Chain A
Amino acid sequence: MNEQTESLSEKLLQRAAPGRVDFEDMVVVPVFAVIVALILGAVAMLATNVDLATIGRSYVALVVGSVGSVNAISETLTAATPLVLASLGMAVGFRAGLFNIGAEGQLLIGGMAAVIVGFSFAGMPTYVHLPLALIAGAVAGGLYAGIAGWLRAATGAHEVISTIMLNLMSYRLVDYILRLPVVQREGRADPISRSVLDSAELPRLLEWIDPNLRLHSGLFVMLVAVFLVYWLLFKTTFGFEFRASGANPEAARYAGMRSGLIIVIVMVFAGAMAGLAGANQTLGVLGRATPGFSAGIGFDAIAVALLGRSHPVGVLMAGLLFGALEAGGRQMQVDAGVSIDLIAIIQALIIVFIAAPLLVRKIFPWGFQKETRAGKE
């Protein structure tokens, strides 16, 4: 190679500063989306005859309840942890072009498995018992999702349909398991499991401040998972294959990647993350399993993954936001007597605006550089 190409190739290695458009997409659009959603939320309250003072009070409560005190922050983080975990799996799925609706079911199955391991094995030391319970959750969730992955790869059955059906099956499956004599709490007729042993509980982090603070060490599991997923997606050959088959399946096939195998691996991974989210709930917050302990986290996770643009860091941010909305929403209900459904409305509005960046650009033209973009040729 001659000198000219040598110096040219040096130049090509330089990375351009992140463009204005990227910045707008990643930061400006979400910020505006949240603002618009809050304003429209206020309009919705007005429409239901809530007076202005109450609206003001409820938004103050939203802030105070989410970040206004140690307890508020603890609640926000506690709510965010399972959301982030489950939507990390979701994000990997989206990147690979798979729309996994089944996090709710995978979360239930995973949480259930974690509980069973958690109340069995009395006398085991924590450093064995807790990891074992967490792993059980991940494995169970992964296998459960793997069914949908295998169906897709082997028969072409679309994962949206099969994961919805697996969700429905998981509800009944959990009901059934909860009534098994080995699982059901002694002396109870209702479906409720035995309690997780101390040795399998995720230790609380802030008990030294106040024993009522619920934040637990699942937070670290979640942070490690964020890093791990980032590494998986962008540094490993697995991640490269996932992203390639999501972005252009035909080109991935021509490059020799095996789509069937990738589908199964991705689904198992997504399920494992959801299962971990379930274990996080049962081992860290609830201490036992009851019907419907998933509380819709698996569905909120879809929104979080979309909001975070299927990027691990974005998912972390979006999960924190949703956690804050949930914690603050509870406070709102207490302080201002506003229905918690309002929070659902605001969450939905945020999603709508994030999903429609052009709409946000139309509403706030001054926030964006003028640029007409187009596809190549």
Chain B
Amino acid sequence: MEVELRNITKRFGEVVANDDVNLTIRAGEVLGLLGENGAGKSTLMNVLSGLYTADEGEILINGKPVDFKGPGDSISAGIGMVHQHFMLIPVFTVAENVILGVEPTGKIDYLDLKKARLQVREINQKYGLEVDPDELIENLPVGIQQRVEIIKVLFRSADVIIFDEPTAVLTPQEVTEFFEIVKSLRDTGKAIVFITHKLHEILDISDRISVLRRGQIVGEGDPQTTTQTELAEMMVGRPVSFNVDKEPYAPADVLLDIEDLTVLRENDDVAVDGINLKVHSGEIVGVAGVQGNGQSSLIEALTGLTRVAGGTVKFNGQNITHASTRARHRMGIAHIPEDRQRMGMIADFSIAENMVLDTYYDDRFSKHRVINWPKAYKNSARVAADYDVRMTSVHDAAGNLSGGNQQKMVVARELSRETMFLIAAQPTRGLDVGSIEYIHSRIINARDEGDGVLFVSSELDEIMALSDRVVVMFEGRIVAEFDATTHPLDKNTIGLAMAGAVA
């Protein structure tokens, strides 16, 4: 099967998200789609999967033009999409989720779950997916949930499978497994489209690469011969440096002082197990670790979102163990949460409203509980321009921003505040290389100005690039600590510690 997109143009009001795009997708091939945040990748794929109708251009399948009136048409034409944000029902089982909308039924509309389970098992076996059809979605880690999405697509017998930033939420281990699955799909003759911002991934897995910039295809690359630097330049339109410059390490007083901190999960399991950690002013501490080893709970405890079971947290000498989230905000602690759509923003609100989501109450934006909107608008526009959040107006709904620009909006909001301390979880998730470079330089700027920074990332490269010190969390404890200022960091050693190999 061969799918051809011909002269596709898609506009949203004044925004031209796709501008005369031509693209061919072939069976047995992985097409890597690369481009800046807001370049139009998701839009293009939404056109292909029937969610949007193109304003101009046509789609051809095996040379014949097709007309998709909705996702249903595209599915029956054999095109399936795994969206970045999963569309699963948490309280349903895997099998129930897979058959949703195409339920196999027996006599008098009897729902044939048994058959569904069997079919899920078959798909499992064929592609080595290993998912239990009877498990509830909410009990599954993200990596497995993604496989359920893949099974869903395969169950609808798709020949073309689109992955929109599938690896953004996966741990490195899960990425490796995911690539195995993609390879086996390709080898059975499926056509794959793979969107990512991670250049090494795209070089690893793609057979061909297309690069989008501002809605247009600006280049093609052969993964055999192209380098990451070339790709980055093609994408952004200028050379990108992967190294960040820092002032010499000059830590001052202790800002954040964590002593014997213990945090429980909802089911009373120990999530954080007696952690001791000090973060100084003018220092970046990176928390490395495989997801699910207590990093999220640590951050929630530090930001006042979770009750602390034991130990103390001091900030600037003050005991804040039980202070409210708002009180900590006021003290100058900024927080970039790990899941922007769920925790960091309100999709239905305008960008301007989102830009003051946690500062609307302070003197700058309101007096006697009346918000000074003109001032808030001006500030949002300034911050957005400053941080290169690509949009047309601050009055647009934040949900209309591209995924990466949503992330930039959240990061911009937190970094543009007067802060003393930054707590960040996956601050560059979903960002293109140019934006990562920029956000990194802002974080380092904050540190050079004397802020303390504590950040969690599942990207070892990011940890290595930013941190003055690295601590490794494993099963709720800090199992290793590395000082980047005295010895250069070694990726392998950190990796081993993350796997729990260091005592």
User: CA A336 – CA B385 in complex, angstroms?
Assistant: 65
Please give, as numbers and ranges, the residues of chain A lying within 8 Å of B52 by CB-CB distance. Answer: 372, 374
Residue of A whose beta carbon sits closest to that of B69: A372
Is there an interface contact between A14 and B325, defined as CB atoms closer than 8 Å?
no
Interface residues in A213-238 by Cβ distance below 8 A to B read: 235-238
Known: A9-B384, A244-B346, A254-B337. Is A19-B13 also a contact (CB below 8 A)? Answer: yes
> Hey, which chain B residues are within 8 Å of A236, CB to CB?
369-371
Q: What is the CA–CA distance of A4 and B261 in the complex, to the nearest angstrom?
A: 47
| B360–A12 touching, CB < 8 Å | no
> Taking the complex as formed, is B381 at the interface, i.e. its CB lies under 8 A from any CB of chain A?
yes
Cα–Cα, bound, A48→B154 (Å): 53
For the complex, give the distance between the alpha carbons of A244 and B371 in Å. 14
* Neighbouring B residues of A372 by C-beta, 8 Å: 50-53, 69-70
Q: Which of B13, B347, B349, B382 contacts A376 (CB 8 A)?
A: B347
Q: Does B119 contact A (CB under 8 A)?
A: no
On chain B, the residues within 8 Å of A172 by CB distance are: none
Say yes or no for A255: interface residue by CB 8 A criterion: yes
Bound: A376/B384 CA distance, A? 20
Residue of B nearest to A13 (CB): B381
Kindly state the separation between the CA atoms of A244 and B85 in the bound complex, as whole angstroms: 21
B503 within 8 A of A: no
Least distance between B138 CB and chain A CB atoms (Å): 15
Across the interface, name the chain A residue whose C-beta is closest to B45. Answer: A377
The docked-state distance in angstroms from the alpha carbon of A285 to that of B247 is: 76
Q: Which of the residues A238, A254, A371, A375 comes within 8 Å of B305, measured between beta carbons?
A: A254
Cβ distance A368 to chain B, nearest Cβ, rounded Å: 14
A240 in contact with B353 (CB, 8 Å) = yes
What are the residues of chain A within 8 A of B324 when measuring CB–CB? 256, 258
**Contact A235 to B164, CB < 8 A, known contacts A16-B392, A256-B324, A374-B46:** no
Q: Do B337 and A14 have beta carbons less than 8 Å apart?
A: no
Taking a contact as CB atoms closer than 8 A, the residue among B14, B358, B384 that contacts A12 in the complex is B384
Does more than half of chain B's interface fall in helix, strand or loop, or is it mixed?
A: loop
Report the minimum CB–CB distance from B47 to chain A (whole Å): 10
Tell me, yes or no, whether B348 is within 8 Å of chain A by CB: yes
Residues of B contacting A256 in the complex (Cβ-Cβ under 8 angstroms): 304, 324-326, 328-329, 358
CB of B400 within 8 Å of the partner chain = yes
Q: Shortest distance in angstroms between A9's beta carbon and chain B's nearest beta carbon?
A: 4
Q: What 1/0 mask marks residues of chain A from 189 to 217 whose CB sits below 8 Å from any chain B CB?
A: 00000000000000000000000000000
Residues of B within 8 A of A247 (CB): 346-349
Asked if B477 is at the interface (CB within 8 A of a chain A CB), the reply is no
- Which chain A residues lie closer than 8 Å to B369 at the CB level? 236-238
Q: A235-B373, A377-B164 are in contact. Are A254 and B325 (CB under 8 A)?
A: yes
Chain B residues within 8 Å of A251, by CB: 342-346, 357
Q: Which of B328-386 contact A (CB under 8 A)?
A: 328-329, 335, 337, 342-349, 353, 357-358, 360-361, 366, 369-371, 373, 377-378, 380-382, 384-386
> Does A186 interact with chain B (Cβ within 8 Å)?
no
How far is B358's CA from A6's CA once the two chains are assembled, in angstroms? Answer: 24
Contact B53 A235 (CB under 8 A): no
Contact (Cβ within 8 A) A14 B393: yes
Q: Which residues of A contact B380 (CB under 8 A)?
A: 12
A10 on the B face (CB < 8 A) = yes
Instruction: Quote the shortest CB–CB distance from B15 to chain A (angstroms).
Output: 10
Q: Are A12 and B381 in contact (CB under 8 A)?
A: yes
Interface residue? A188 (CB, 8 A) = no
Minimum Cβ distance to chain B for residue A371 (Å):
8
Do A370 and B394 have beta carbons less than 8 Å apart?
Answer: no
Q: Which residue of chain A has its CB nearest to the CB of B403? A: A377
Q: Contact between A15 and B395 (Cβ–Cβ < 8 Å)? A: yes
B85 x A377 contact (CB < 8 A): yes
Residues of chain B within 8 A (CB-CB) of A57 are none
Asked if residues A254 and B344 are in contact (CB atoms below 8 Å), the reply is yes
Within 8 A of B (CB), among A1-37: 1, 5-6, 8-10, 12-16, 19
B443-470 vs A, Cβ < 8 Å mask (1 yes, 0 no): 0000000000000000000000000000
A9 near B357 with CB under 8 A, answer no
Given A235-B373, A247-B348, A251-B342, A9 and B385 contact (CB-CB distance below 8 Å) = yes
A235 to B400, CA, bound (A): 23
Interface residue? A51 (CB, 8 A): no
Size band of the interface chain B makes with A: 35 or more
Which chain B residues lie closer than 8 Å to A19 at the CB level? 13
**B291 interface residue (CB < 8 Å to A):** no
Report the bound CA distance from A256 to B323 in whole Å: 11
B84 within 8 A of A: yes
Q: Determine the residue in chain B with the shortest Cβ distance to A15.
A: B395
The interface residues of chain B lying within 8 Å CB-to-CB of A244 are 346, 349, 357
A243 to B305, CA, bound (A): 20
Assess the B385–A237 pair: CB atoms within 8 A.
no
Q: Which residues of B contact A9 (CB under 8 A)?
A: 378, 381-382, 384-386
Separation of A9 and B384 alpha carbons in the complex (Å) = 7
A14→B386 CA distance, assembly (Å): 17
B399 within 8 A of A: yes
Residues of A within 8 A of B275 (CB): none
- Is B42 located at the chain interface by the 8 A CB criterion? yes
Among A248-265, those with CB < 8 Å from B are: 248, 250-258
B11 to chain A, nearest CB (A): 12
Whether A5 contacts B346 by the Cβ 8 Å rule is no
Is A10 a contact partner of B381 (Cβ separation < 8 A)?
Answer: yes
Option from A1, A250, A252, A375 in Cβ contact (under 8 Å) with B382: A1
Q: Taking the complex as formed, is B240 at the interface, i.e. its CB lies under 8 A from any CB of chain A?
A: no
Decide yes or no whether B396 CB sits under 8 A from chain A: yes
Q: Is B147 engaged at the interface, CB distance under 8 Å to the other chain? A: no
Cβ distance B429 to chain A, nearest Cβ, rounded Å: 13
Residues B305 and A16 in contact, CB atoms below 8 Å apart: no
Does B144 count as interface, using CB distance less than 8 angstroms? Answer: no
List chain B residues, Cβ under 8 A from A240.
353, 360, 371
Q: Does B391 interact with chain A (Cβ within 8 Å)?
A: yes
In Å, the complex CA distance between A256 and B59 comes to 47
B83 at the interface (CB under 8 A from A): yes
- The residue among A10, A16, A240, A244 with the most chain B CB atoms within 10 A of its own CB is A240
Contacts of A248 in B (CB 8 A): 342, 345-348
Q: Which residue of the partner chain A has the closest CB to B351?
A: A12
What is the chain B residue whose CB lies nearest that of A231?
Answer: B370
Q: Which residues of A contact B53 (CB under 8 A)?
A: 370-372
C-alpha spacing A341/B395, complex, angstroms = 44
Which chain B positions have C-beta within 8 A of A375? 399
B85 cross-chain contacts in A, Cβ below 8 A: 376-377
Q: Which B-chain residue is minimally distant from A244 (CB atoms)?
A: B346
Check A377–B84 contact: CB distance below 8 A: yes
Query: Per-residue 0/1 for B288-329: is the Cβ within 8 Å of any A Cβ (1 yes, 0 no)?
Result: 000000000000000111000000000000000000111011
Interface residues of B in 7-40 (CB under 8 A from A): 13-14
B337 to A, closest residue via Cβ: A254
A311 CB to nearest chain B CB (Å): 13
Q: Which residue of B lies closest to A370 (CB)?
A: B53
In the complex, the answer to whether B343 meets A250 with C-beta atoms within 8 Å is yes
Known contacts A13-B378, A237-B371, A248-B347: does B353 contact A255 (CB below 8 Å)? no
Q: Name 15 interchain pairs, CB-CB below 8 A, sorted by A.
A: A1-B382, A1-B385, A9-B382, A9-B384, A12-B380, A13-B393, A15-B395, A16-B13, A19-B13, A243-B349, A250-B342, A372-B50, A372-B69, A376-B347, A376-B399
Q: What 4 new A-B contacts, CB under 8 Å, besides A6-B385, A12-B393?
A: A1-B386, A236-B369, A250-B342, A254-B343
Instruction: Rank and list the top 4 A-B pairs by shortest CB-CB distance, nearest first.
Output: A256-B326, A374-B51, A255-B358, A9-B385
